[in-house]
Structure 1
Amino acid sequence: MKKLFVLLMLICFQAGAQTSALAVADSLYALGNYASAINAYAKVGDKKANLQIARAYNAIGNYDKAIAQYTAVLDNNPEFELARFELGKLLLKTKDFGPALEMFQILVSSEGQNPEYFYYLGRVYESVDNTEKANSAYKSAVEMDSTHLRSLYALGKYYVGQEIRDSALVYIDQGLRFYENDVSMINLKALAFYNNGQFQLAIPYFERLLELGEEKAFVYEKLAYCYFRNWEPEKALETYHKLKDFPEKLAVAYSGLGEVYFEEKKLDSSQYYIEKSIEEGRVFFPQEYASLGRIARLKGQTKKSMDYYVKAWEENKEDYYNYYQVCVLADEYYKDPKTRLNYYEKLLEMYPDLVPWLEERVKNRISELREEIHFGSN
C-alpha cells in the first residue's frame, strides 16, 4: 500500500512538472522567444509540444525544419488533422505543390468536412494551373459554407478575368450579401461591369471603393474612364486631375485629360495634355500621336497631322489604320498624283489582308489616281 502511494505521488509530481514545463514553453512562444521555446518544448516531448516546435520553426522562417517537424508529428500521429492542415499550408507557401496537394486531398476525404480544406485544395490546384479542379474545390467550399468569402472571391475573380459577367456576379453578390463593405468584392463587381463595357453600372462601385478609403491609382484611373465613357466630362476631368497625384500614372492622367478636352472641342487644351502625356511616358505612344494627328487635322494643319500619324504608325506598325490616315493626309497635302499614289500602293503592299471595306476604298482611290496620271501625261 505504501509503495502504491509513493508511485501515485511520483506520477502526480511528474505530471505537475510536465505541466509546469509546458506552461513555461508556451509563455516563451507567446513572447516570440522561439529558440528558447523550442528547447523548452523539446524537454516536454508530447504531441502538443512537438506541434509547437513545428510552429516555432515556421514562425522563425526555418521552413525546412518546420516541414521536417510537422512530418515527424504526422508519422507518429497520422490522424492529427491540425498538424496536416498546417503542414499543407506551409507546403503551399513554399511552392511544394505535389506534397501540398497530397495533404489537402487526405483532409478533404476525412469525415469532418471543412470548407477551409476545400479552399486550400483549390489554391493548390490554381497554383498548378488546373483551373477546372480549383473552381470545383472552391464551389465545394461554398456549398458547405455559403458565406466563405475567400472561395466566393476566388470564383468571382476567375469569372471576372474570363469576362463572364453573369457568373461572376452570382458569387460576388453572394459575398456582398454577407459583408456589404468587403472592398475586394466591391472591386470585383466594379470590374465585372467595367470589363463588360457597362461603365454607368461600374461607377457607383468605384465610387464606393473611394468612400471606403481605397484611394488607389487604379480606382481613380478606371473611375475617370467610366465618367468619360458615360459622358460626365466635369467628373472625368476632376478624377483625372486626382490621378495626377500618383507619379507613375501621370502619363495616363494627361492622356485622359487630353481625350476629354478633345471631345469637349477644346483643342488647345487637348493638345497640351496629350503632349504632356508623351513627355511623361516611357515606352510607346501610338494612341497619343494619333490623337495629336486628329487635333492638327481639325485645326487645318494637314502636314503636321500627317507627321503625327507617321509617328503613331512607327510606334505600332501592326495598326494599319494609322498608315491609312497618312495616305489620306498625303492625298490632301501633295499635288503630285504619283506621290499620292505611292502612299496607297505602299499600304496594300505592307498590309495585304486589310479589312474588305478599307481594301475596296484604297483600291478605288488607286484606280482614280492612275487614271489621273494617265490623262495628265497625255
Structure 2
Amino acid sequence: MRVLNGYIIKALLLSISLNIGVNAQSSSSTIADSLYATGNYTKAINYYAEDGGENSGLQIARAYNAIGNFEKAIVQYRSVVAIHPDWQIASFELGKLLLKAKEYDEARKLFSQLTALGDDNPEYHYYLGEAFQELEQPASALTAYKKAVKLDSTHLRSLFQLGKYFTIKLERDQALKYVDAGLRCYENDVSLINLKALIYYNDNQYKTAIPWFESLLELGETKPYVYEKLAYCYYKNWEFEKAKQTYRTLIGIDDQNSDTYFGMSAALRKNEQRDSAEIYIHKAMDVQRPIFAEGYSSLASLARERNDLKSALNYYKLAYKEAPLDDMLFFNICTVADQYYKDPKTKLDYYETFIKKFGKNRPYASKIATKRIKELKEEIHFAKN
C-alpha cells in the first residue's frame, strides 16, 4: 500500500511539473507577442527564444527585421525556411528582405519557387519581377509583371512598373495602356499621373500634358522638375504668361539652376521682351560658370533678331570657344559671317573650314555649305574677270 501511494505521489508531481512547464511556455509566448505588438522587439526576441516554439523562430526573424538588424534576420529566416520549406510566408518575407539586402539572385530563386507553389498569387509574380529587374533581365521582369496583372487587374505596383518601362522606351500606346488601367483603379495615384504627364511630354503633346502636370501640383507634388516641365509645356503651347509665372516659381525654389533662367529667357523672347530676355541669359551665365556656351549662343540669337550681326558673330565665336566640338555653333558662325562680311573670300574661308572640320557630321548643313562654297567661288571668279 505504501509503495502504491508512492507511485501515485510521483505521478502527481510529474503531472504538476509538466503543467507548470506548459504554462511557462505559454506565458513566454504571450509576453513575447505583447512585446512584439508594442514594438519592444529586443525583449520580445528574448522571450521568443525562451519559448522555443515553432512559430517563435519566425517571430524572432521578424523582430530582427523590425529593428533593422537585417543580417541576423536573414540568418534566422533561412533557418526557419530550412526547417519548414512549406511555410510560404517565411519564404516570402525572406525574399523581400533579400531584395532589400541586394541579394538579388537568391531572392529570384525564392520567388521562382513561390510562384511554382502559389501560381495564383500576384504578389509572388510582382516580387519575382523586381528581382529580375535588379538583375537587369527586363524581358523576364516584364513577363512577371504581366502575370501579376493577369492575376489581378488592379495590381497597381505591377501596372506602374509596366507603364514606367514603356514610358522610358517611348512606346506611347503601350505605356498608356497600363497607366490608364492603374488610374481607373486609383485616379489620384501620383506616380501614375506623373507617368501619364511624361508620356505626353516625351511625345511632344505639350497641350495634352499640361493638365496632368497641373494635377501633380494640386496633389502636392511640388518638385522642381514638375514646374520645369509644366513651364516648358506652357511655352510650347504659346501660353507665355503662364510659362513666365511658372519659371518665376521655379526660380523661387532654386535660383542656382541655369536651365530655369534660359527657359524664362526663351519665354520672354517669344513674347518679344528681348531686353528682359537678355537679362535672364546673363543671370543664367552667372550661375552656370564656367560653362558659357549656351549663354553666348542665346545672346547671339538675340543679337541676330535685332539684326546686330557684329554682336551675333562675336557671341557665336565666344560660344564656339567654350564648346569647340559643337559643329552647329560653327555653322552658325558661317551663316552670320556670310551676312556680315562683304568680302566673298572671307565668307568662303568660314564655309571651307566648316567642311574640313565637320563635313561628315552634318550632311544637311554640309550640303548647304557646299552649295554656298560653289556660289562664292563663282562670285570671286567673275569679280576677277
Same fold (TM over 0.5): yes
Q: In structure 2, do the counterparts of structure 1 residues 4 and 175 end up closer, same or farther at CA, with 3 Å as the change threshold?
A: farther
- Cα distance between partner residues in 2 of 1:66 and 1:83: 11
Aligned partner of 2:22 among 15, 33, 43: 15
More displaced, 52-61 or 143-152?
52-61
**1:357–1:70 CA distance, 2 compared to 1 (3 A):** closer
**Aligned partner letter, 1:347:** F
User: Relative to structure 2, which stretch is displaced further, 166-175 or 316-325?
Assistant: 316-325
Q: Counterpart in 2 of 1:32?
A: 39
Shift of 1:66: 1.3
1:64 Cα offset (Å): 1.9
Q: Does 1:333 align with 2:340?
A: yes
Residue deviations 1:18-37 (CA, integer Å, cap 9, x gap)? 22111222233334333322
By how many angstroms is 1:326 displaced? 0.3
Q: Counterpart in 1 of 2:130?
A: 123
Residue in structure 1 matched with residue 193 of structure 2 by the alignment: 186
User: How far apart, in 2, do the equivalents of 1:61 and 1:89 lie?
Assistant: 14
Secondary structure of 1:244's aligned partner: helix
- CA drift of 1:136 comes to 0.7
Matching residue's letter, 1:344? Y
Residue 94 in structure 1 maps to residue 98 in structure 2: no
Q: Which amino acid aligns with 1:229?
A: K
Letter in 2 for 1:331: D
Identical aligned pairs, as a percentage?
Answer: 47
**Alignment match, 2:312:** 305
Matched, 1:153 2:167: no
Does the aligned pair in 2 maintain the 1:243–1:250 contact within 8 Å? no
Structure-2 separation of matches of 1:133 and 1:249: 42
Cα distance in 2 for residues equivalent to 1:249 and 1:145: 46
Q: Which runs of 5+ in 2 are unaligned?
A: 1-6
Aligned letter for 1:277?
A
Q: Normalised by the size of structure 1, how large is the TM-score?
A: 0.93
Measure, in 2, the Cα distance between the counterparts of 1:337 and 1:112: 77
Alpha-carbon distance in 1 for matches of 2:197, 2:22 = 59
Whole-angstrom CA distance in 2 between matches of 1:98 and 1:354: 44
- Confirm or deny: 8 A CA contact 1:217 1:249 kept in the other structure: no
Please report the RMSD computed on the Cα atoms of aligned residues, expressed in angstroms. Answer: 2.1
Superposition pairs for residues 40-55 of structure 1, below 5 Å? 40-55=47-62
Which residue matches 2:183?
Answer: 176
TM-score (ref. length: structure 2):
0.91
Distance 1:119 1:220, change over 3 A: same
Contact 2:31 2:47 in 1 (8 A): yes
1:365 to 369, 372, 376: 372
Q: Deviations over 1:101-129 (max 9, x none)?
A: 11101110014621111110000000011
Structure 1 residues 288 and 14: CA distance shift in structure 2, 3 A: same
More divergent stretch after superposition (342-351 vs 285-294): 285-294
Counting matched residue pairs gives 378
